[in-house]
Every structure is written in structure tokens, then in C-alpha cells.
Structure 1
Amino acid sequence: MAKAAHIVFAKDGAGNIAAASDLFTAGRSMYLCLACGKELRRKTLGDGFPYFVHAQRTSCRLAAHYALRAAAQRVLTESRFIKVPFTGQPVDANRLSASLVQWTDSACDVEVGHVPVDFLAETGEGQLLIELSIPGLPATSTPERLRILRLATLEVELPPPANVHGFSDLRQSLLHSLGNKRWVFHPAHSLPAGRQNGARYQAEPRVPPVQALEAGAPSPWNPALSFAESTCFRQLAVTEKLEVLEKEMDLPCDRWPAYVDIEVGGEQTFGVDRRIWQADVFSRFVQKHHPGVGENMFSSAAVSEWLKSRYLLDRPFPGADSIAVHQFLTALVQRGFLVERNGDEPRYRVVRTRPAANESGLVWRPHATLSASQLRVLSMQAGLRVPVDIVQWLLESFDDCHPSVTVDDFVSILSRRVHAPPRSIIAFLLDAKLVVDGGEDRQGNQQILF
């Protein structure tokens, strides 16, 4: 095996990162690869440095790279400091040109503004992003995506895995060295124009002091570290919560769309009307995403944890909050806002922040009505089985008027309630003469006008 492919770090059964050079690793039997999760065994050749190899022959080309990255994240988490070059000044190895940044709270592999980052620390001067650059390993994010966040971002270029034999080498390069570090973005200063010390990033325009202070402050949308806004929100009265969410939705609550008023199991868990917490989730995870930045991915668990920090939960049954969140996100998938990516933990990607206007092309007929006899006959004709508890709701929805939502929204709601495909719902509405094609309706109006 080539020296560059030697795996120096691995994960033990308890989830801790260990180095093959640590003395205690010789007495343990279970170590796992950080890239593929398969079992590793410790090996030493002659007087050389010990390393790990896969217990079973397997192809895991970047195992050493991912192991080095995980070990670097562990060092940053436990050390809680890093030496960084002064912003806007070239690094001079012959003199002190660095400052020490310290923190108490941190998180690894999180999304900030839907941009994945390697390491995030909450320092006394605001949030600091640290990107780990390892030769041969694709970067987590591009500089352009990181600069959009307007947060202090430091790139640390680590040596190739073959040149790191344990935590001592890694700490020296990661925490103390300066020549391998450069600012991707800093809110208070800008890099000199051009490339300095091999820097791969273009200079940022100087940020005015007020903007720099705002950019350096903790970001309220950071799900890992910023709890202050959620704590304040949780303490607000319901009317005050509504005022906040009306600003977020940019609509008064009486005009909120139907997709933030979806009936789900366990919806009473959050102690407020479902429209409040659903509008909260929609505005935070769908409406606020940055177009073109990252994959706009999030998990159901992330939404649940976020809601826990903003509402006092009173679960009517175990797991009620998780069920409510999952059903709500599923409804947003059905309405075309999200796409679900299956895996060990389902993840959702934002594909649209606003509903498509009249996708079916159908509009409500004026003064549309539906009688009980029509419902009984036409539902059977369309192949719909309408539960008894839905019959009254349907009849009231068309009591000399039509629903306040669009046809497409109503089709989605009824489809979910009666467990029928949307095409069957549309067929039922057409047979009942409750809807008409938008083009035909416009032609009729023009005939009346002219």
C-alpha cells in the first residue's frame, strides 16, 4: 500500500477519533473507517509509523483523507482555539503576525444559510467558519458560496495524509502554523488586491464598521449555536408571535395561504394554532433559503429540534412532534415546494419558495354549489371513497360559494384526506361543474365585457 494511502486516524466503538500511533489503540479490537464505516485493524511495518488498514479487502480511495478531516474537527472541538493571521496583512514567518481566536461553543458539519461548512465556532467577536482544505479531497463549499454568508471564514490547508503521523503533527499544522491559513472572508477587513502567499481568493471590498459589526454578530438563522432569538420567541405571547410571523411571511395572518394550515397528526403538540408553527417552519426552512446557494437541504430532525427551541411542547402521545413535522413536510413535498431524498434519515431539498399559479389551469365557477346527491353519485363515478367525516366538510365548502384556496390547493388537500390521486379529484370537480378551465373562463368574461 502506498504511503499516501495509510490511514492514521479511525473511529472507535464509542465514536471517538483515535490515532494509530496512540499507545492505547494497540489493546482495542474495534476501529471503523471514517469514509465507509467498515472495520479497520492496526498495523506496523518494521520501525515505521503505525497505521490502520481495512480488515477486509475493500476499495476506499479517500479513507485517509476523510480520517484526517474528522481528526482535525476533533482537535478544533477539544482545543477551542486557533492561531490566525491578522486580516489584511501578509503572513511573515520571521515575526509575530497572528492573533489567537478562542471559543466555547462549536459544531462540525453544519449548514449555515443552507451552505455546508466543516467547522463553526461561536467566538466573542461573532461566528467563525473554518474550512479544511486537504490535498486530494473535494472541498465542502466553494469560496463564492461561503462569501455570501458574510461571516468570518478561515481556510486551513492541511498537509497530505501521508505527512501526518498522529495528533501532534496535526495540532501543529492546524492550530499553530500560519503559512497554511488564509481568510476567505472577514467582515472587518479586506485582503490586498491580487494573490498573496499563494492565496486562492480575490480580495473582498472593505465593509463599513456598522455592517462589519452586524456581519460579525451571531446569526439568528444558525441552527447549531444561536439560541437567543428562539428563546425570546418562545417567551412571546401568541399575538406577539403572530406579529413576528406576519413580517416573516410578508402577509397578515388572515391572508396566509392554505399550505401553512395543513391538518396533521399531533399538531397540538406545540401549544399554538397549527398555522403559527407551520408558518414558522415554512418561513424559516423554505421561504428564507438562498437561491443558488448549496443544495438547500435539511432533515426532519433539524426542523423538530428547531421547533423545540421555540415552543413549549406538550406531546399528546410519544413522538407527536416528529409525526407532525414529518406529515407537514410531506404535504409540502406534495405541493411541490420540497423534494424528498430518501436515506437513513430523509432529507428535503427546497425547489420552490412560492406555489405555482394554477398549475392545472382550472378556476372555480362563480356560485359553485354541491348537493349531497351530487356528491354521492359523482364521487362513485370518479372512484372516490369519501369518509363520513369528510362529507359535511365538502358540502359546507360549496354552500353557495367556493373554497377560499385555489383549485390546485383544494385538490391537494382533498387528495390527502380521501387518499386518492389528484386526477380523480379533478375529474370529480369537473363532473360536478365546480371548476372550469381558466382559458374558457377568460373567454366568457371577454364575451360579457364586449
Structure 2
Amino acid sequence: MQYALTYRQHARAVLGLGLPLVGSHLAQFAITLTDAAMLGWYNVESLAAGVLGGEMFFVFFIMGSGFAWAVMPMVAAAQGAGEGAQVRRVTRMGLWASVLFGCFALPLLLFTDDILRALGQTEEVARLAGAYNLINGWAIWPALLVMVLKSYLAALERTRIVLWITVLAAGVNALVNYMLIFGNFGAPEMGIRGAAVASVTVHLVSLVALVIYVVRATPEHALFQRLWRPDAEAFGRVFRLGWPIGVTNLAEVGLFAASSVMMGWLGTLPLAAHGIALQAASVAFMMHLGLSNAATVRAGHAHGRGDLQGLRAGASVVIALSTMAALVTVLVFIVLPEPIISAFMRPDEPDRAAVLALGTGLLAAAALFQLVDAGQVIALGLLRGVQDTRVPMVIAAITYWGIGIPSSYLLGFTFEMGGVGVWLGLATGLALAALFMMARFWGWSARKPQ
């Protein structure tokens, strides 16, 4: 028997599911944030190299995560329809797909320095970024497997354990970074290589913790029994839903990676300022990403039950919540740029004044696209919940790469607006993506029979 929830009940359900996911994403991002902050305190060159090396890893990681994110709506829909066997089948094949993708990504990560030189980066930055990914690249397998298990648990609405394991991982990362970057507690001083070792350690710890929890807490799914046995039908379903998500992720993250490459053309200091502003904007984005994941799960459950009215009401609520969060972020970026930027540099950094001046302008530009960035990721979450991934992939490719990147180059270099122009170009692509994806979801909802 179905019954209509009020908007307040929808909001409670979204926040109950979404807040632990927001916390989990923030804790996960704290790993990257800690790397950036500590490398910035080590020296500006390591920060710039960490930005590029980390961006390259993240491009492959987020593309491979398409299979993990496909698991979330599929498990949610199967759970909503009472099909326990499907939960097990699609999660297992999500793990298979992730391992196979890692085999493709690792060789490219091991040649990070050559790739960055070909993209016009300075020799020192390319060398340091290459040294980082020679170690960090091996984390691609545990990182992707962790994403699959987190998606599985989130779809079952077991989000608190996802949060606490991620918090544990962030703490381990901070400790190992502090030891190995600077050589504290008797450890060797490894600089950027120490940050890479910390990242690999964190992903392995997270994977072990999640496997132990899944075995103990969800024995009904017997997730790891006969894991080696292929399931062609389930693998095909995961692959068909997951590869468009991966390409969509690649289009969005590639947009920001391309902006980092452009900032590198402007010099080491603009790249360092860009890295700081990007970290701050990414922290804000984690709130919307968590709400987007909650939207995927809630929409997946409603879709599995055939509850169109609940789907529409829940969508309205999650959009409103994300919009309110975005408005708060805009205010913070405009009012408090200096404290934010200062957190990433030593007080006696020789280039502190220059990075502050550059970063303040970039944070102002980042404030402008908070609303549109929130809009596009929430729309993507809703569309994934109803298992619509191919058209959003096309929209992302056109708006991010066909419009966003050319706009960044045009404003940043042709019109000589520098880093601020690059960021305004990003906002243009994100705004169009939000518009078209929202139109896609609500158009689909209007055409769907009651």
C-alpha cells in the first residue's frame, strides 16, 4: 500500500539519507584537501604538482566510478521492488567492471610525467606529479572497489557506516601525510611521495573496513561468495548503465582538469591559486553531491515502486535543499576569501601576497557558479535514479567540452581575463548543463503516465 508523503516528510527522508552521504563525501574529500594543504605548507611547487597529479588520478577514478554509481540506482530499484537476488548480482558485477577498468587506467597513470610534459607543463611540476602517480596510481583498484561498496550500502540506506569508515580513512590520511611529507615521528621526509603513500594506505584501509562490515552486516546477500563466477546478463546491465555515467563524469571532471592545464600555462602561482580555489569550491560541491546521491536512491526506490507522485515531490524537495546550501556557500566565498586561501599556505610563504590576490578573484568567480553547479549535479542524480544516463551523457559532452572549455580559453586567453576568465568559462558550461538536464528530468516526468 502506497501513501503520499508531505513535503516535510520528504525533506526528513532526504536529509536522513543525504546528510551522512554529505558527511561521507566531505570526509572523502578531506583526503584530497589534506594533501593540498600539507603540500602547500611543504612548498608551492609540490602543491602545483599535487593539483595536476591528483587531477589526473581523479579523472580516471571518476570515470571508472560510473560502474559504481550505476550500482546505486539498480540496487535501489531492486530493493524497492523486493528483488534481493538482483541486489547481489548487480553489485558483484559492479566490482568486476571496476577491476577491469583499473587494468586500463593504471598504465596511463604511471606515465603522468610524460603526459603532462606533452600538455605544456613545466619540467619540475611534471616530474613531481609523475613521482606522485607512480605510487598513487596503484590506488585505482581499491579506490574503485570502495566506491562500489559505498554505492551498495547507500542504496540500502546504510549511510552512517559509509560516513564513519570515510571519517576513519580521512584521519589515517592526515596522520600518514604528517609523518611522510614532513618526516615527523621518525619517518623519512618524502615530500609529495609521502602524500602518495598516504593515499594508497587510506584506500586499502577503507576497502578492508567495508568488506568486513558488508560480510557481517548483510549476510543475506552473500556478496563475496563465488565472487569469481561471471554473470553475463548482470554485467551487461551494469555496463550499459555505467559507461554513460562514467563518460558524463569524465566530461565534468575533464572540464576542471582542462582548466588546471590552462592555469598551468599562466604560471606556477596562478596554478597554485587555482588549486586552492578549486579545493574550496569542491568542498561546497560535496554537499550537493551527497544530496544528489540521496536523490538517486530516493528516485530509484520511487521508480521501482512506480510512485511517480512521490518521485516528483521528492525531486522538488532535494532541489530546494541544494539551492539553500548553494546560497550559503556564495556568501562565504564572497565575505571570507582571505581566511580560506591562507589555510593552504605557510605564514612565511614568499609568494603569499601574490597567491592571495589571485585566489581572491578566483573565489569570487567560483561563487558565481555555485547555483548552476548544484543544479547540474542534482539533475544528474535524479536522472540516474530513473536509470536515464545516455542523453545526460550527450548533454554533458556538449555543454562541458563543446561550450565550457572553449569559453574558458576564449575568456582567459583571447580576451586576456586570465584565471578569472577561465573560471567564468567553467560557469558557462555548467549553467547550460543544469538547464538542459533539469528540462530533461521534468520533461520525462511530465510525459510519464500516472
TM-based fold match above 0.5: no
Considering fraction of residues, name the structure with more helix: 2
| TM-score calculated relative to the size of structure 1 | 0.25
Larger Rg: 1
Q: Which has the higher contact order (CA 8 A, sep 6+)?
A: 2
| TM-score calculated relative to the size of structure 2 | 0.25
Considering fraction of residues, name the structure with more strand: 1
